[in-house]
Chain A
Amino acid sequence: SAVISQKPSRDICQRGTSLTIQCQVDSQVTMMFWYRQQPGQSLTLIATANQGSEATYESGFVIDKFPISRPNLTFSTLTVSNMSPEDSSIYLCSAQYTSGGIVNTQYFGPGTRLTVL
């Protein structure tokens, strides 16, 4: 399996501010993803973090609100911009590993619990 860390583990932020979440993987991975888990809900994919190019966003998520960086094969950041209380969620990053030559096993970080006041 993989060791994935996220910082911060939790934060309480004021409306209108921004927060950058960091995700570090212990080895090089093909793909990294960012998910949102709203209170009492399942996981929703925000975007795929592409190394060396712009992230690919899912429907309903835009770069201006959730800018993502991936400067190398082990690190990515997600910024939640101009926050509102509706952004209060757990944000999780995941890393996708190759298994038997097939890219398809995702492991998850511990999550960042964000509360916006």
Chain B
Amino acid sequence: AQSVTQPDIHITVSEGASLELRCNYSYGATPYLFWYVQSPGQGLQLLLKYFSGDTLVQGIKGFEAEFKRSQSSFNLRKPSVHWSDAAEYFCAVGTSEYGNKLVFGAGTILRVKS
């Protein structure tokens, strides 16, 4: 079965600094990969997704993620963080083999300091 690891539970960055959130997955084939963001008291918003093709994926709100097959990683990046980016970020994996059900990582809470 697939699994997802987000090794950082909390991350604090200064406003305007760059951000990278790590995500590693365990699955034999290439899965579908997603990043979602959850603001306090809100549902999940899809930031970006990777199915195939170009390994650098652009998303909303200035986020991007890079799929690296050799490292089984799908790290999320943003060149300049804004205070409004403070939220919890979830990496998720889906595969057609498992009926496209999603498995979520534990989440990374991002705090932005001014």
Contact = CB atoms under 8 A, between A and B. Distances in A.
A and B, one complex?
yes
Interface of A: 1, 4, 6, 31, 33, 41-45, 48, 92, 94, 96, 99-100, 102-111, 113
A108 B51 contact: no
B99 to A, nearest CB: 7
Contact of A96 (B36, B100, B105, B107): B100
Interface of B: 32, 34, 36, 41-46, 49, 51, 90, 94, 96, 99-107
B28 to A, nearest CB: 17
Contacts of A100: 51
A43 B90 contact: yes
A31 B44 CA distance: 17
Chain A binding surface, main DSSP class: strand
Given A105-B46, A108-B43, A108-B46, 6 more contacts: A43-B104, A45-B102, A92-B44, A103-B100, A104-B96, A104-B100
Nearest to A111: B43
B99 A102 contact: no
B101 A45 contact: yes
B91 to A, nearest CB: 10
A108 B46 CA distance: 8
A102 B51 contact: yes
Given A31-B100, A42-B105, A48-B101, A99 B51 contact: yes
Contacts of A103: 100
B43 A42 contact: no
Contacts of A1: 46
A41 B32 CA distance: 22
Given A42-B107, A99-B51, A104 B42 contact: no
Nearest to A37: B38
15 contacts: A1-B46, A31-B100, A43-B44, A48-B99, A94-B102, A100-B51, A102-B51, A104-B32, A104-B51, A104-B96, A106-B100, A108-B36, A108-B45, A110-B42, A110-B43
